[in-house]
Amino acid sequence: MALLEVTDLSIQFGGLKAVDNFNLTIDEHELVGLIGPNGAGKTTVFNMLTGVYLPTEGDIKIDGESIVGKKPYEIVRCGAARTFQNIRLFKDLSVLDNIKIAYHHELNYSTFEGIFRLPRYWKDEKTAHENCLAFLDIFDMGDYASIQAKNLPYGKQRKLEIARALATKPKILMLDEPAAGMNPKETHELMDTIQLIRDKFDIAILLIEHDMHLVMGICERIVVLDYGKIIAKGTPEETRNNPDVIKVYLGE
Amino acid sequence: MNKNTIKSYLVNFLAVIIIFALMKLLMNIGIINRYYQGIIVFILINIILAASLNLATGFLGQLTLGHAGFMAAGAYVSASTAIMIKANFGWLPNIAILLISLIIAGIISAIVGVAIGIPALRLRGDYLAIITLGFGEVIRVIINNIRFTGGAQGLTGIPRISTFDNVFWITVLIVFILYTLTHSRQGRAIVSIREDEVAAEAVGVKTTRFKVMGFAIAASFAGIGGGLYAHYIAFLDPNTFNFMRSVEILVIVVLGGMGSLTGSIIAAIVLTILPEALRSFADYRLLLYSFLLIIMMIFRPAGLLGTSEFSWKSIYDRYKYRKESIIKREKA
């Protein structure tokens, strides 16, 4: 059974059909790219997958469980985590706290136990602290643990956002234009990070991206969207040579 | 459990005891007279109000302008409960009457907070400020127009059972609860909503639940603050809890630093003493008061302490750091 199963997904804003009959299946441990020119509906698809928009038609299933109509935080619990096109970190908090917030569900003590500092608070907080630090170390960010997130360089901020999404222990990670605004060096670093995630975590990735170099370099399958419709599907090689895709991107 | 944390808890606990003992001593030898004692009690009540508002505004990031409404609800509930208990169970000790009244006041205020919070917290920023302002005024107008609150004539005959001792320890307890709450996993979730609500939701924080929870706790403590006020003054006039009262509390929070409980404490002390100290300037009092606030906002817009907390350790660390850097420089 596929990990993520999207069937006939459509959304209508007034008279505009922003996404029309979108179908997609992602298997475990797969890396799929979603590309398309500006305004093609990529982010709209994303927002439906993560519960921000309610689709007018169609169904989304994660591990066989429908997530349509669920709140974003419930969808996170179902195993889908995301990052944002314009980085959204908890800016005034430390890097470590950013991770700890995503790690919230792993802690079990109640509000009462937390307020009166009962034994379970100390035990849980200690393991959380250690686990989150170890988690940062995977991404080579252990040294930054106590720095405010807003003071990180841009590439590291993106890395932290991805790490934070992974701290929720998702089955599928959705990255919304992770390379937006990055210079070639940072993009390269990002590719390394994605590779690292694939090696260390048992996870599927859905990637929206404009940077062709990145998409062609790492994706196993690519879906091309234009005006809300899928116009091509296939391996990077097939997509690159697809006449429709060339037409959309370069004109006739 | 970390050794340093235990040490810092102990240091703070000792400091609180020393402050209390010092105050008691000064009262006994008469340096702090009844007038000063009254000001100290008002400082403590303002600390409760400001610290609780700080939870909603500073930590949760929801600008509310109706805090006096919750204070009023608590004050009237606590006052009428105490009057009732006094009439029927007069043999109970004062402290028991006070605690029962305050707990009931806290619970009722929390319920009012949830009832207002669920619809109001769907809005953000200015809209939320205006709707809470409206609700705060609604509470005041209701009190003004129903019978058992004494209406516009005010409520009299309230047992005078708040003393410096019990107000002090209740304040300590409330500030302690707010501190530990904001430094737990629930507190992190609350702060994450202030930082970025969309991102908080995207990492699995149940935003609505924590917003309502933060708001209810803030309302509940404001109600307890109101109750202590009622039992100290022993007379309640609905117009004390008008919009300006909410603004005064908000000013304390902003001046102390949104997201800093110790900042709220310091600002509550300063802003309660200031109007009293400026009494000799008569008409220029409010002018000076506002002027000080303007100066403050120009030079320290984030408030006295920003979002950080005052701690002995940070002072010690800074001192150590400075000493080390001097030694280093001398070596070089």
Return the pLDDT at A244.
Answer: 87
Tell whether A186 is within 8 A of chain B (Cβ): no
User: Does the pLDDT value for residue B315 go beyond 90?
Assistant: no
Arithmetic mean of pLDDT, A27-47: 89
| Yes or no, beta carbons of B195 and A72 under 8 Å apart | no
B3: pLDDT strictly greater than 90: no
- For the residues of B98-127, what is the DSSP string, one character each? HHHHHHHHHHHHHHHHHHHHHHHTTS-HHH
**Interface A-B: count of C-beta contacts within 8 A:** 89
For residue B299, name the pLDDT band (cuts at 50, 70, 90).
confident
Residue B237 class from Cβ within 10 Å (0-12 exposed, 13-18 middle, 19+ buried)?
Answer: middle
pLDDT in the model for residue A127: 93
Ordered structural domains, chain A, with CATH: 4-87+165-250 (3.40.50.300), 93-147 (no CATH)
In contact, B144 and B151? CB cutoff 8 Å? yes
CB contact under 8 A, B185 and A107: yes
Nearest to B1 among A72, A90, A122 (CB): A122
Q: For residue B149, give its domain range.
A: 3-331
B-chain residues within 8 Å CB-CB of A107? 185
Task: Specify whether the CB–CB gap between B121 and B208 falls below 8 A.
Answer: yes
Q: Which residues of A touch B207 (CB under 8 A)?
A: 73
CB proximity under 8 Å: A 69-98 to B: 71-73, 76-77, 81-82, 84, 88-93, 97
Q: Do A72 and B196 touch (CB under 8 A)?
A: no
Inspect the interface and report whether the beta carbons of B198 and A104 lie closer than 8 Å. no
- At A212, the pLDDT band (50, 70, 90 cuts) reads confident
pLDDT higher than threshold 90 for residue B41: yes
Question: What mean pLDDT comes out for the span B120-128?
Answer: 88
pLDDT at residue A214, as a whole number: 84
Closest-CA residue to B58 (of B221, B178, B186, B207): B178
For the stretch A187-201, pLDDT in tens is 999 999 999 998 889
pLDDT higher than 80, residue B275: yes
Residues of chain B positioned with their CB less than 8 A from the CB of A82? 202
How does pLDDT run across B68-86, given as a tens digit for each residue?
Answer: 999 999 999 999 999 999 9
Answer yes or no: is pLDDT of B291 > 90: no
Q: Which residues contact B319 (CB under 8 A, 6 or more apart)?
A: none
Closest residue in chain B to residue A118, using alpha carbons only: B1
DSSP string for B223-243: HHHHHHHHHHH--B-GGGGSH
Please answer yes or no on whether B204 and A164 come within 8 Å at the CB atom.
no
Q: What span, in angstroms and rounded, lies between the C-alpha atoms of B19 and B32?
A: 14
More confident site: A153 or B318: A153
The per-residue pLDDT for B1 is: 56
Contact state of B181 with A111 under an 8 Å Cβ cutoff: yes
Amino acid at site A159: K
Q: Tell me the CATH number at B192.
A: 1.10.3470
In sequence order, the 6+-apart residues with CB closer than 8 A to the CB of B288 are: B278, B281
Q: CA-CA distance, B249 to B285, in Å (whole number)? A: 18
Residue A102: which of B180, B204, B307 has the nearest Cβ? B204
pLDDT at residue A251 is higher than 80: no
Residues B211-232 have a mean pLDDT of: 96
pLDDT at A252: 65
C-alpha R_g of chain A: 19
Amino acid at A163: A
ipTM over 0.95: no
Distances (CA, A) of B228 to B31, B167, B168, B314: 24, 7, 10, 33
- Counting the structural domains of chain B, the total is 1
